[in-house]
Each structure stands twice: as structure tokens, then as C-alpha cells.
């Protein structure tokens, strides 16, 4: 009986820790980067769709770009941000699909966007990382790497983390685009980064997974 009680206490503690990772306060159903809150692939705020009604889904709208769309959508504040191989970043009304704005980069946009503090961060096959005003699409800054950027940025505490096919992982100032540091791996970095508990995690085509932390 004592053993069962201990197991129950452990399970409760684990559940409490998991709950503690959810955003505090009002639950906002936004998907602002490649993964959801804390790099999860599930949305705990979704309360409408479930196994009983998902079979009734039907098309609400579609928006046609001039190229293939490999970028995964990011959704924040009623806007869908998505890239296309037609070289454009698009901001669409999440309810109607109407185009709010677009920004043309120098090549295709494979990267998935990260939206934080009114700014959209995204990489392009033109080797640049872009920061765009989320409401207007105006360019705030860009940072040029040594090769295409199809890695999806992660943003945490004023830093943009992103990989490049030049084999580097970059940490950029989210406000200015200035390089804070970079790390050279042995091959292309197409992996999207995860930031959790003071560590930055990323994979490389050199067959390694890397974790960066404060020494």
C-alpha cells in the first residue's frame, strides 16, 4: 500500500510539472512558431475539435501562391504567416484567407516563421534571416549567413536562434539582428531549434545533435 502511495505521489508531481509548462493566465490558441508552446506538437488550448467531430471538417478557404508551399503556417493574433517558394512571406487573415500583406525575399521561403513581440522572424533560401513587422510586413532588419536558411527560427528572451546550410548555428539579437554568437557544426544545419531550461538544442547533417548551455 505504501508503495502504491509513493507511485501516486510521483505521478501527481510529474503531472504538476507538466502543467507548469503551460502558459500562465488566459489560454490563447496561437501557434507562433514551428512547434507550439515549449516546442510541443499539440495545442492544449484547442477545445472545439475532437475525435467526435473532426470528421465533419470542411474547407473554409484557400489562398493560392505562385510557388510550392513547404513552409508550415504560424498563427498569431488572428493572422496566418506562411512562406512560399515564390520568394514571398504572406500574412493572411486567419478567418477569411484574405491577404493582409506580403514581403518579397530574394529566393524561396522554406523556413517556418516565429512570431514574437510583434515581429515575424523567418529564413529564406537567399541566405538571409528576416525580421518583419507583424502588422505591416515592413522589414526591420536582415542578417546574411553563408548559405540558404531553411531552418525555422526559435525566439527566446530577446534572442533569435537559427541554423544555416553554411553549417553554422546563429544567435542573433531579436531587436537589431546583430550576431551574438555562432557555432560551426560539421555540415548543414536544417534542423529547427528548441530552447528549454537554459539550453539550446539543434541537429546537424554531420549526424550530431548539439546542446548549448551556459558554462
User: What integer pLDDT is reported at residue 124 of this predicted model?
Assistant: 96
**Is the dihedral angle over the CA atoms 44, 49, 52, 57 positive or is it negative?**
negative
Higher pLDDT, 48 or 114: 114
8 Å CB contact between 132 and 82: no
pLDDT over 70 (residue 26): no
Across the chain, what does the average pLDDT equal? 83
Domain coordinates in residue numbering, the chain: 28-39+60-213
CA 50 vs. chain centroid, Å, equals: 24
pTM beyond 0.75, yes or no: yes
18 phi and psi angles, rounded to 5 deg: -65, -40
Give dist(CA 107, CA 122) in Å, integer.
Answer: 12
Give dist(CA 23, CA 77) in Å, integer.
Answer: 16
What is the fold of 28-39+60-213? Methylamine Dehydrogenase; Chain H (2.130.10)
8 Å CB contact between 187 and 164: no
Amino acid at each position: 500500500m505504501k508503495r502504491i502511495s509513493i507511485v501516486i505521489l510521483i505521478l501527481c508531481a510529474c503531472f504538476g510539472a507538466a502543467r507548469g509548462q503551460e502558459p500562465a493566465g488566459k489560454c490563447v490558441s496561437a501557434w507562433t512558431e514551428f512547434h507550439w508552446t515549449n516546442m510541443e506538437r499539440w495545442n492544449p488550448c484547442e477545445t472545439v475539435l475532437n475525435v467526435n467531430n473532426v470528421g465533419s471538417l470542411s474547407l473554409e478557404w484557400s489562398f493560392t501562391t505562385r510557388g510550392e508551399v513547404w513552409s508550415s503556417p504560424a498563427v498569431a493574433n488572428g493572422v496566418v504567416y506562411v512562406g512560399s517558394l515564390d520568394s514571398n512571406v504572406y500574412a493572411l487573415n486567419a478567418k477569411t484567407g484574405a491577404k493582409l500583406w506580403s514581403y518579397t525575399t530574394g529566393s524561396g521561403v522554406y523556413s517556418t516563421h516565429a512570431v514574437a513581440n510583434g515581429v515575424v522572424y523567418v529564413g529564406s533560401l537567399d541566405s538571409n534571416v528576416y525580421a518583419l513587422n507583424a502588422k505591416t510586413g515592413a522589414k526591420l532588419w536582415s542578417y546574411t549567413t553563408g548559405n540558404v536558411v531553411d531552418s525555422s527560427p526559435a525566439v527566446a528572451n530577446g534572442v533569435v536562434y537559427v541554423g544555416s546550410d553554411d553549417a553554422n548555428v546563429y544567435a542573433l539579437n531579436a531587436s537589431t539582428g546583430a550576431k551574438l554568437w555562432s557555432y560551426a557544426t560539421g555540415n548543414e544545419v536544417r534542423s529547427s531549434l528548441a530552447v528549454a531550461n537554459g539550453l539550446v538544442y539543434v541537429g546537424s547533417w554531420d549526424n550530431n545533435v548539439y546542446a548549448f548551455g551556459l558554462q
